[in-house]
């Protein structure tokens, strides 16, 4: 007996990042548009819940993605601080927890692909995705490459760059010049 292949099975895609939410929003809108009424994708956003450490201000991703039908999963991740301050020690403690949290989230979601837009919350997702052999694409929006994308580059299959000046910071054979996705309203 042959089993019929279900063509309606949705692919799971994880988007992750921090500051580049508008670029991710444009990608979400394009994926939704391509899929029509019955989208081909189940889209998940893994990112920070709070915009500023110690404040209750939600990130743009936490505020907007759930309204768009994107499943938001906050990650408990820390960042490397440029200067020693009040939040340095708590943030350093959160770094290994972030890797474990990313692993648990990815095992639960089981995505077919990860697209990272950089930021401290993205790196643990990228590293654990690589560990689980999930294909990874990085998108770098700026000419001044951020630390998360710099650290993530060895684990990515492809690196989409918005500006040609960014290519010199990454392995050339992985780079594709794509520009920045923009929202139709802009």
* Predicted structure pTM score: 0.83
> Considering its fold, how many domains does the chain have in total?
1
pLDDT at 101: 94
The yes-or-no verdict on residue 85 having pLDDT over 90 is no
Is residue 67 in a domain? yes
Higher pLDDT, residue 90 or 44: 44
Helix axes 88-109, 122-131, angle to 10 degrees: 40
Confidence of residue 165 (pLDDT cuts 50, 70, 90): very high
pLDDT at 138 over 60: yes
- Residue whose tokens read 């394009």: 30
- In a domain, residue 172? The reply is yes
Instruction: Name the pLDDT band for 132 (thresholds 50, 70, 90).
Output: very high
Share of the chain above pLDDT 70, in %: 80
CA pair distance 115, 162, nearest whole angstrom = 14
Mean pLDDT confidence for 165-182: 90
Asked if the structure places residue 163 within a domain, the reply is: yes
Among candidates 23, 33, 182, which has minimal Cα distance to 116? 23
Domain around 93 = 11-177
Quick check: is 183 in a domain? no
Does residue 1 lie in a domain region? no
Rounded Cα–Cα distance for residues 73 and 16 (Å): 10
pLDDT at 156 over 90: yes
Measured between alpha carbons, how far is 108 from 149 in angstroms, rounded to an integer?
24
Q: Note whether residue 3 is domain-resident.
A: no
The answer, yes or no, to whether residue 136 has pLDDT greater than 60, is yes
User: Whose CA is closest to 136, among 24, 11, 14?
Assistant: 14
Q: Quick check: is 123 in a domain?
A: yes
128 falls within a domain: yes
- CA-nearest of 98, 87, 144, 92 to 122 is 98
* Residue 180 pLDDT class (50, 70, 90 cuts): confident
16: CATH: 3.40.50.2000
């Amino acid at each position: 007996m042959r089993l019929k292949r279900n063509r309606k099975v949705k692919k799971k895609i994880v988007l992750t990042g921090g500051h580049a939410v508008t670029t991710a929003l444009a990608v979400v809108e394009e994926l939704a548009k391509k899929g029509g009424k019955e989208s081909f994708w189940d889209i998940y956003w893994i990112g920070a819940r709070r915009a500023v450490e110690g404040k209750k201000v939600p990130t743009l991703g936490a505020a907007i993605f759930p309204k768009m039908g994107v499943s938001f999963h906050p990650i408990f991740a820390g960042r490397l601080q440029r200067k020693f301050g009040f939040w340095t020690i708590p943030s350093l403690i959160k770094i290994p927890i972030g890797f474990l949290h990313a692993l648990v989230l990815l095992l639960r979601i089981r995505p077919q692909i990860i697209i990272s837009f950089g930021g401290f919350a993205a790196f643990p997702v990228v590293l654990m995705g690589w560990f689980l052999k999930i294909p990874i694409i990085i998108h770098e929006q700026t000419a001044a490459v951020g630390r998360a994308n710099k650290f993530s580059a060895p684990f990515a299959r492809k690196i989409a760059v918005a500006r040609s000046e960014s290519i010199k910071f990454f392995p050339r054979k992985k780079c594709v010049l794509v520009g920045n996705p923009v929202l139709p309203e802009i």
